[in-house]
A and B are shown apart, each in its own frame.
Chain A
Amino acid sequence: MPEGLGVKLLGPTGIIVVVTYLMMLLAIGWWGRRARQDNSLSDYYLGNRGLGFLVLLMTLYATQYSGNTMIGFAAASYRQGWQFLMALGFMMAVVGCYFVFAPKLHRLSRREGFITPSDFVAWRFRHRGLTVAVTLIFIVTLANYVLTNLKAVMEVIETGSGGAYTGELAVIGLAVLMLIYQTLGGMRSVAWTDVLQGLILLVGIVTIFIAMEVAYGGLTTTLGSLRTADYDLWSPPAGAEKVRWFSTLVLIFFGIAIYPHAIQRIYAARDSQTLKRSLQVMVFMPLVTTLLMITVGVVGAVRFPGLSRDDSEAITLLVLQDIAMQIPALKFLLTVFLAAVLAAIMSTIDSALLSLSSMFTQDFYRHWRPHLSQAQLTLAGKFFGAGVMALMVGGAIALPSTIWALIQIKIELLVQAAPAMLLGLHVPRLRAGSILAGLIAGTALTLGLLLAANFTGESFFSRPFNLHAGLWGLMLNLVTVAVAHKLEVRVFARRASA
């Protein structure tokens, strides 16, 4: 968010609210530790596979919606108008993809005792090279995700305090706090804090929307004025944008659904029916989250036209400040917004970090030290968690980046692991060699295109013919899998006949 727009959130009231919220997270973390049933990896990383309906729903919700929902979605809607409604579709598409694989994966995870997504790949293909390749893609994309959100924390605190607190200090403090409650109770603490964070996020967004309706005397009139105020924002997308819209839907359908921390929540569900019911509610959550934030951005475009790209990143704050000036009683909304943003970001970071720690422990360390007990592995996982957090915080402080650009890159890489998960579940005859060949080809093409775009500055390479580089990579990935599978079948047939 840009500085200099005169928005200050962290006054005395804001500090009291934030400190109270942070103390509650610590208390929940301690509560999670007291509920511990044993000292196993399953208990620490999956809450002993006992998450009930409400906790599962809220942890899926809080994890899927990050700081980008609160800041980035409204800003993108300010710049693109209703064309950013593609975000409403892609957040629902994620649940559509869960339908494809979650029922079967959940059943297998309980039977086979999976801890990480790579456990499924290892069990299904029995190929160490493929398992390591998939795990590396998961680790790179998750680390990217954590970095992005830590960066967002720094920006929120710096801007919110009007520069009174440095982002570096804030991100270190919050990282230590997340590490404490995560180390105390693992997935149980993280999921329970997600309930609080998800509720803050949901209530925050709905409250902001209602306040907008009240302050502007009915949104229909305000939104309708865009009709004459800005033809571009009122008009439907052109042909190229429509293709890009579809490309984004497909990319996110395959990408976000296979985030390791999302898959671990599938494993952590108490039972199949609990998971099913949570997903049935989850598919409607974008209507009360994404759609409302898009509306905030469009209202911002009506009220504050002509902002630069950087300034538009603070459009939610500007709208809230405008509302507070018109109705001073609604000034508390600024604090609500700050709490909701922090909740959204922290719930994403802690879940991703726990998942990263689980992959280091279960997918790598356990193979190097196979004789360690579950308690020793759990302890090692806690150290890994601390080490990864320290690395990520260091990276967030040192590396400059923009939120949206990083998100695009991580999803484009992540989708290359989708065939291993989805085809692995539903096509029994597929062998590891085909999937690995596809993964290498798809990843190489995606990285090649993105690097070419970066070095040449030509946007064509990042989206050739308006389809994302990651989608081209996924198509090559799937074609390679199909061809390699045919070749494998022929080779086996020849060997059998010989």
Chain B
Amino acid sequence: MAKHWRKIIPLILLQPLVPWWFSGYTSGGVGGIPVWAAYAIVTCILYALVVCLLLGRYWDEQAEEDE
């Protein structure tokens, strides 16, 4: 992965954390919470997984970059 792109992935991935696609009241829910809130929680978990993987995979390359 291009080294400049990977640095902004954690910033770009903030965008889907917002439930942009949901609007208006709907009675549907998952485990006692609204569907859009479940979406927000799931995307947060995915965000955490991606950041965890980025840290694991690219930490050394990030650290060794020339200044």
Q: Do A and B bind each other?
A: yes
How far is it, in angstroms, between the C-alpha of A88 and the C-alpha of B40 when the chains are bound? Answer: 9
Q: Are A220 and B7 in contact (CB under 8 A)?
A: no
Complex interface: chain A residues within 8 A of B67 (CB) = 104, 108, 124, 425, 428
Q: Verify if A103 is at the interface (C-beta below 8 Å from B).
A: yes
Chain B residue at minimal CB-CB distance from A272 = B63
How far is it, in angstroms, between the C-alpha of A239 and the C-alpha of B59 when the chains are bound? Answer: 37
Q: Are A92 and B44 in contact (CB under 8 A)?
A: yes
CB distance from B36 to the nearest CB of A (A): 4
Name the contact of B59 in the complex, choosing from A97, A246, A276 (C-beta under 8 A).
A276
Of residues 214 through 232 on chain A, the ones whose CB sits less than 8 Å from some CB of chain B are 219-224, 227-228, 231
Of residues 40 through 92 on chain A, the ones whose CB sits less than 8 Å from some CB of chain B are 82, 85-86, 88-89, 92
Q: Verify if A406 is at the interface (C-beta below 8 Å from B).
A: no
Name the contact of B52 in the complex, choosing from A88, A106, A224, A284 (C-beta under 8 A).
A284
Complex interface: chain B residues within 8 A of A92 (CB) = 44, 47-48, 51
Number of interchain pairs (Cβ within 8 Å):
137
Complex interface: chain A residues within 8 A of B34 (CB) = 82, 227, 234-236
Q: Verify if A162 is at the interface (C-beta below 8 Å from B).
A: no
Q: Are B47 and A242 in contact (CB under 8 A)?
A: no
Q: Are B52 and A280 in contact (CB under 8 A)?
A: yes
Q: Are A96 and B40 in contact (CB under 8 A)?
A: no
CB distance from A269 to the nearest CB of B (A): 12
Chain B residue at minimal CB-CB distance from A424 = B67
Name the contact of B13 in the complex, choosing from A96, A228, A276 (C-beta under 8 A).
A96
Complex interface: chain B residues within 8 A of A220 (CB) = 31-32
Complex interface: chain A residues within 8 A of B51 (CB) = 92, 95-96, 99, 283
Question: If the complex has contacts A93-B14, A220-B32, are A280 and B27 also in contact, measured as CB distance less than 8 A?
Answer: no
Q: Are B10 and A89 in contact (CB under 8 A)?
A: no
Q: Are A246 and B18 in contact (CB under 8 A)?
A: yes
Contact with B along A10-45 (1 / 0, CB 8 A): 000000000000000000000000000000000000
Q: Are B59 and A103 in contact (CB under 8 A)?
A: yes
Q: Verify if A263 is at the interface (C-beta below 8 Å from B).
A: no
CB distance from A80 to the nearest CB of B (A): 11
Q: Verify if A421 is at the interface (C-beta below 8 Å from B).
A: no
Q: Verify if A490 is at the interface (C-beta below 8 Å from B).
A: no
Q: Are B24 and A250 in contact (CB under 8 A)?
A: no
Name the contact of B32 in the complex, choosing from A97, A224, A228, A272 (C-beta under 8 A).
A224
Complex interface: chain B residues within 8 A of A425 (CB) = 67
Q: Verify if A469 is at the interface (C-beta below 8 Å from B).
A: no
Complex interface: chain B residues within 8 A of A96 (CB) = 10-11, 13-14, 47, 51
Question: If the complex has contacts A82-B37, A92-B51, A223-B32, are A234 and B18 also in contact, measured as CB distance less than 8 A?
Answer: no
CB distance from B18 to the nearest CB of A (A): 5
Q: Are A283 and B48 in contact (CB under 8 A)?
A: yes
CB distance from A276 to the nearest CB of B (A): 5
How far is it, in angstroms, between the C-alpha of A230 and the C-alpha of B36 when the chains are bound? Answer: 16
Q: How many residues of A contact B (CB 8 A)?
A: 51
How far is it, in angstroms, between the C-alpha of A224 and the C-alpha of B33 when the chains are bound? Answer: 6
How far is it, in angstroms, between the C-alpha of A426 and the C-alpha of B7 when the chains are bound? Answer: 9
How far is it, in angstroms, between the C-alpha of A99 and the C-alpha of B5 when the chains are bound? Answer: 13
Q: Verify if A107 is at the interface (C-beta below 8 Å from B).
A: yes
How far is it, in angstroms, between the C-alpha of A114 and the C-alpha of B59 when the chains are bound? Answer: 20
Interface hub of B15, B23, B54, B67 (most chain A Cβ within 10 A): B67
Contact with A along B1-25 (1 / 0, CB 8 A): 0000001101101110111101111
Q: Are B65 and A104 in contact (CB under 8 A)?
A: yes
Q: Are B32 and A221 in contact (CB under 8 A)?
A: yes
Q: Verify if A487 is at the interface (C-beta below 8 Å from B).
A: no
How far is it, in angstroms, between the C-alpha of A220 and the C-alpha of B33 when the chains are bound? Answer: 8
Name the contact of A85 in the complex, choosing from B11, B13, B41 (C-beta under 8 A).
B41
Name the contact of B14 in the complex, choosing from A89, A224, A279 (C-beta under 8 A).
A89
Question: If the complex has contacts A236-B36, A291-B41, are A283 and B52 also in contact, measured as CB distance less than 8 A?
Answer: yes
Q: Verify if A433 is at the interface (C-beta below 8 Å from B).
A: no
Chain A residue at minimal CB-CB distance from B4 = A426
Q: Verify if A286 is at the interface (C-beta below 8 Å from B).
A: yes
CB distance from B49 to the nearest CB of A (A): 9
Complex interface: chain A residues within 8 A of B13 (CB) = 96
Chain B residues close to A by CB (< 8 Å): 7-8, 10-11, 13-15, 17-20, 22-25, 27, 29, 31-34, 36-37, 40-41, 43-45, 47-48, 51-52, 54-56, 58-60, 62-67
With contacts A228-B27, A249-B18, A272-B63 known, what are 13 further pairs, Cβ within 8 A? A82-B34, A85-B41, A88-B41, A89-B17, A96-B14, A100-B7, A223-B33, A224-B33, A231-B25, A245-B18, A249-B14, A249-B17, A287-B48
Q: Mind listing 28 A-B residue pairs with CB under 8 Å?
A: A82-B36, A82-B37, A89-B14, A92-B44, A92-B51, A95-B48, A95-B51, A96-B13, A96-B47, A103-B59, A104-B62, A220-B31, A221-B32, A223-B31, A234-B34, A235-B24, A238-B23, A246-B14, A246-B18, A250-B14, A253-B10, A253-B11, A272-B59, A276-B59, A280-B52, A283-B51, A286-B48, A425-B67
